Amino acid sequence: MIDHGKKNILGVLIDAVDYEAAVARIIAAAHARQPYTVSALAVHGVMTGVLDEAQRYRLNHLDLVVPDGQPVRWALNLLHGSGLRERVYGPTLTLKLCERAASEGLPIYLYGSRPEVLAALVANLQRRFPGLQIAGTQPSRFRQVSAEEQQEIAEQIRASGAALTFVGLGCPRQEVWAYELRDLLGMPLLAVGAAFDFHAGQLAQAPPQLQRLGLEWAFRFAKEPRRLWRRYAILNPLYLGLLALQATGLRRFDPESAAAPAQMLRYG
């Protein structure tokens, strides 16, 4: 098990952990019914924090931020000698947690995406993990919600008896959701992004070899060029350039420099 705690990557605090440590932390919080916010960040997720001070504050106040992308794992190893042999990929982390939840009687909740995706996801997860208890689901409302609606969302999840909630709203909305609802829900909230679409069979995952080489982005770009071209054409080179500045000491990135968000965004 590797757990070296939080490390600074471009001012965003990423936990230098492996799957074993991440799962152990989350399951312990689920059993204890403790608030615990989790995100799996690839380069795009890190860059949302680099470019947006309020989002950097939110990310740096999550309980656990795992290195979802290979370039994030490489940065942890390069800058901090973390010795991570593999990334902690959100879709794989989701399956490992569902397996533990099934074996330990921890009901889960699924929040986000569309009704048809949730229906397929529930069927596939229960087929794969027959003992898994799915306490409930709510599709995204695809808009900002009122304070009253946010309370209703939280109350429905709490009333379900869930011990963990998986959130599939896409980055950065899902991280905002987890940050804002942390204390309202009092359980692990896991921002896992595309895991919903992958495990519902709605979206193909990159071949393992491309994933190991850090080229998952190229596979996803080929599938969705219109939606993703700005992300990969602009953010990936910027990430590498800034990482070089941090590695050489030419620029300092201070995780404490961000101020708390002035208002809640209330994504639903």
Domain-located, residue 239: no
Domain-located, residue 110: yes
Any long-range contacts for 28-31 (C-beta under 8 Å, 24+ apart)?
A: 29/63, 29/187, 29/188, 30/101, 30/106, 30/163, 30/164, 30/187, 30/188, 31/104, 31/106, 31/163
Domain-located, residue 156: yes
pLDDT range class, residue 229, cuts 50, 70, 90: low
Whether 212 has a pLDDT exceeding 90, the answer reads no
pLDDT range class, residue 72, cuts 50, 70, 90: very high
Domain-located, residue 225: no
CATH number, domain containing residue 161: 3.40.50
Residue-wise pLDDT for 42-62, tens only, equals: 999 999 999 999 999 999 999
Domain-located, residue 70: yes
Q: Which of 12-16, 187-191, 215-219 has the lowest mean pLDDT?
A: 215-219
Domain-located, residue 265: no
pLDDT range class, residue 200, cuts 50, 70, 90: confident
Domain-located, residue 168: yes
Q: What is the pTM of this model?
A: 0.93
Q: Rounded to 5 degrees, what angle do the CA atoms 120, 125, 131 make?
A: 140
Domain-located, residue 264: no
Q: Which domain holds residue 199?
A: 3-206+253-257
Whether 233 has a pLDDT exceeding 80, the answer reads no
| Mean pLDDT of all residues in 70-82 | 97
pLDDT of amino acid 202? 80
| Mean pLDDT of all residues in 141-149 | 94
Counted domains in the chain = 1
